[in-house]
A and B are shown apart, each in its own frame.
Chain A
Amino acid sequence: MDMSQYRDLFVSEAREHIRTMNELVESLSKEGEDEEQVASLFRMAHSVKGMAASMGYQAIADLAHKMEDLMDRVRKGLLPFERGAASLLLEGADLLDAMLDEVAEDGNVRSDAAALVKRLEAHASGMHAAEPEPGSLELPQPPAQTSAPSQRPGGRERSDSRQTIRIRTELLDSLINLTGELVTTKYRFLNLAQEIGSPPLEEVIADLSRLLRELQIQVSAARMLPFSTLADRFPRAVRDLARSRGKDVTFEVEGGELELDRGMLEALADPLIHLIRNAVDHGIEPAHIRLLAGKPQSGQLRLTAERARDQFVVQLADDGRGMDPAVLIATAIERGVVTTEEGWRMTAEQAFLLTCQPGFSTAREVTDVSGRGVGMDAARAAIQALGGQFTIESIPGKGTRMVVRLPLTIAIITVLLVETAGVVCAVPVNTVLRTVEVSPACFEERGGRHLLPFEEERLPVIPLQGLMGGYKEPAGPVSLVVAEVGTERIALAVDRFVGQQEIYVKPLGRPLSRLAWLSGGAILGDGRLVFILDMAGVALRAGI
């Protein structure tokens, strides 16, 4: 029987089981033995063994079998679940993942698990050496094993009675593409209906709009995944990194159940890992320094996710050494990143964002992990490319908080269409605070730039015409879009507001992706192409 047609399904299901195994090992290591979790871990290994054996991947089945054996002894109370067992199981999970990569690539397993299998056997039989811990800190030990597992309350089998079906991610992408094209076509119908002035047609289009809206919601929902899909990868990374640096770090995640667009989650993975590595490597101090500072030995790193209006907010907070804005500004001036005058005018928030300048690093040493000033730059660029905003708060000696604000979905967004010099551009409404029309007489002048008095601030006015080439001083009232860019606000001057509508975002490939002031494009209902402005990029280009 040709099993290759089931290969994708096998790989996908096995990966899920391995991911669950990793989570369970982390949980058992942190919180101590729990009968239900031990039983679940045994079942996961058993399932992977069974699936692999039925597919003919004996090397995978053998490795999973030894992991299952080890867990069998733990659940029977014959072996404690301690650090050695946890390390072996994590190592086994990694190797299983690598084997699955090979299977996904060409159907052949090449990795050799023989050495690990022997160590698993040795550990399961009780013949293992204590794990060497050169210079590293002790992790909390699990509570002592009792000898009467039958006295523990029976665990409840968790089951999900909802029926589910697996869908290839390419199919989901295709559905959102089609939905986006339908949105564009809807606007084409609307334009035609308005041109020919047909109320019955407009009514039908109104019904179509409602159905389309519902379809859009359902398809978007199908693309949503819990934040934990991403966040669950991090405890392991934090643990390994902290160990390699001889640090003790407690990592917590909150808001893992909140859902975010799949595409957004995938794109967030790299930026978040950069930020986490930076926090562990440079933020959190070694234990002896923390104790001298009166802090707990173990550094705290917390990743939280929450929904705020139409944004998804991710925060990474540590209680480490924090950053001194004065040091950052001095370094930036010394390196010519900013002038002395610019440095004097900088706020603390702006100073913290200096760490995202390419090549900027105040790290006393470059490690293999961070300190080259590359990670933060790449992280911020990736976040902005998603239409998100990135800010940093920090108190020297106390800690740092990095905040990422993202739109809920990247595929279909609502934009404000604006026109300048005959060119229509789109501004994502999630960046728009307000639209105003003012007389040029309201502007103040400073350093050759117009400033708009707005609430209690003076906002720099950026004429969009400057982007088009050629600028004329406005004669009549000026239309302005007040937008938020990081911790700052700007006022984008345009010729007129065209309207607001939903658009299906078309990503820009090379070379247009190099234009930092454009975050995407769209095709309007009347066939016109418009480009979506990246307000941070527009501000940067204008020298703000």
Chain B
Amino acid sequence: MSGISGRLMLFAAGVRRCAVPIDEVVEVIELPPLFPIPGAPSVLCGAINSHGRILPLVDLPLLCGLDSGSAPAGKVIVFDSFLADMALLVDEMHEVRPSTDILEEEEGEMPCLSRQLMFADGTAHLVTCQGVLAVVEKVLAESRSAAAEA
């Protein structure tokens, strides 16, 4: 029985199917113009203007080391500003499912894919804003240290 409640938005990131709690998302948009972020590591592929807010766009497949799919990344999931000021670049949006559809869940493979969820038609990796934020900030800290040592 899953401990996750509410609804999940399923999407494709690379060749993997992922799910994000819908409560953490304010909107899903087409990829808008991207602007470079000086000195940012490549997992932050650029910045976007989201209703007057400047948000970094996180390349989720690159961040999680997922294999790239054939479909070009073209959708953006914008997180709730109460959680973080960032957005996720993903490949394709699928459907919304209730958490009651989850048959089983297991420990995830990597920090930003915190849980593996089993549905009747396959698995999906749970992606949470906090999980992604923690990994991104770790990458930023590592790149700061690397720059300092260089």
Residues of A near any B CB (own CB < 8 A): 181, 422-423, 425, 464, 467-468, 506, 508-512, 514-518, 521, 523, 527-531, 533, 540-541, 543
The distance in angstroms between the C-alpha atoms of A533 and B47, with both chains bound, is 15
Q: Are A510 and B47 in contact (CB under 8 A)?
A: no
Q: Are A511 and B56 in contact (CB under 8 A)?
A: yes
The one of A422, A511, A531 that contacts B133, using a Cβ cutoff of 8 Å: A511
* Residue B3 CB within 8 A of the other chain: no
Q: Most A CB atoms within 10 A — which of B33, B81, B85, B86?
A: B85
B62 CB → nearest A CB, Å = 15
B119 CB → nearest A CB, Å = 30
The one of B38, B47, B84, B148 that contacts A509, using a Cβ cutoff of 8 Å: B84
The one of B36, B44, B52 that contacts A181, using a Cβ cutoff of 8 Å: B52
Q: Most B CB atoms within 10 A — which of A506, A510, A527?
A: A510
A-B contact pairs, 15 of them (CB 8 A): A423-B36, A425-B38, A509-B81, A511-B133, A512-B56, A512-B86, A514-B137, A514-B141, A515-B39, A517-B38, A517-B39, A529-B54, A530-B35, A541-B144, A543-B148
A506 CB → nearest B CB, Å = 5
* Residue B37 CB within 8 A of the other chain: yes
A60 CB → nearest B CB, Å = 33
Q: Most B CB atoms within 10 A — which of A422, A506, A527, A529?
A: A529
Q: Are A468 and B33 in contact (CB under 8 A)?
A: no
A512 nearest CB neighbor, chain B only: B56
A535 CB → nearest B CB, Å = 13
Q: Are B147 and A541 in contact (CB under 8 A)?
A: yes
Taking A512-B37, A514-B144, A515-B140 as known contacts, 20 extra A-B pairs with beta carbons closer than 8 A to each other, sorted by chain A number, are: A506-B52, A508-B54, A508-B85, A510-B133, A511-B56, A511-B84, A511-B133, A512-B40, A512-B85, A514-B137, A514-B140, A517-B38, A518-B39, A523-B54, A527-B33, A527-B49, A529-B47, A531-B37, A533-B38, A543-B148
The distance in angstroms between the C-alpha atoms of A518 and B85, with both chains bound, is 15
A468 nearest CB neighbor, chain B only: B38
The distance in angstroms between the C-alpha atoms of A279 and B74, with both chains bound, is 55
Residues of B near any A CB (own CB < 8 A): 33, 35-40, 44, 47-49, 52-54, 56, 81, 84-86, 133, 136-137, 140-141, 144, 147-148, 150
Taking A508-B85, A510-B84, A543-B148 as contacts, is the C-beta distance between A518 and B52 under 8 angstroms? Answer: no
The distance in angstroms between the C-alpha atoms of A322 and B141, with both chains bound, is 34
Q: Are B38 and A518 in contact (CB under 8 A)?
A: yes
The distance in angstroms between the C-alpha atoms of A514 and B137, with both chains bound, is 7
The one of A422, A467, A543 that contacts B39, using a Cβ cutoff of 8 Å: A467
What residues on A are CB-neighbors of B47 within 8 Å? 512, 521, 529, 531
Q: Are B85 and A531 in contact (CB under 8 A)?
A: no
B47 nearest CB neighbor, chain A only: A529
The 3 closest A-B pairs by CB, nearest first: A509-B85, A521-B54, A529-B35
A224 CB → nearest B CB, Å = 24
Q: Are B39 and A511 in contact (CB under 8 A)?
A: no
A334 CB → nearest B CB, Å = 20
What residues on B are CB-neighbors of A518 within 8 Å? 37-39
B79 CB → nearest A CB, Å = 10
What residues on A are CB-neighbors of B36 within 8 Å? 422-423, 468
B85 CB → nearest A CB, Å = 3
The distance in angstroms between the C-alpha atoms of A190 and B35, with both chains bound, is 22
The one of B40, B49, B52, B54 that contacts A515, using a Cβ cutoff of 8 Å: B40
Q: Are B144 and A511 in contact (CB under 8 A)?
A: no
The distance in angstroms between the C-alpha atoms of A510 and B86, with both chains bound, is 7
What residues on B are CB-neighbors of A517 within 8 Å? 38-39
What residues on B are CB-neighbors of A511 within 8 Å? 44, 56, 84-86, 133, 136-137, 140
Q: Are A541 and B52 in contact (CB under 8 A)?
A: no
What residues on B are CB-neighbors of A514 within 8 Å? 137, 140-141, 144
What residues on A are CB-neighbors of B35 within 8 Å? 528-530
What residues on B are CB-neighbors of A509 within 8 Å? 81, 84-85
What residues on A are CB-neighbors of B40 within 8 Å? 512, 515
What residues on B are CB-neighbors of A523 within 8 Å? 49, 52, 54
Q: Most B CB atoms within 10 A — which of A425, A464, A511, A516?
A: A511
What residues on A are CB-neighbors of B144 within 8 Å? 514, 516, 541
What residues on A are CB-neighbors of B48 within 8 Å? 529
A423 nearest CB neighbor, chain B only: B36
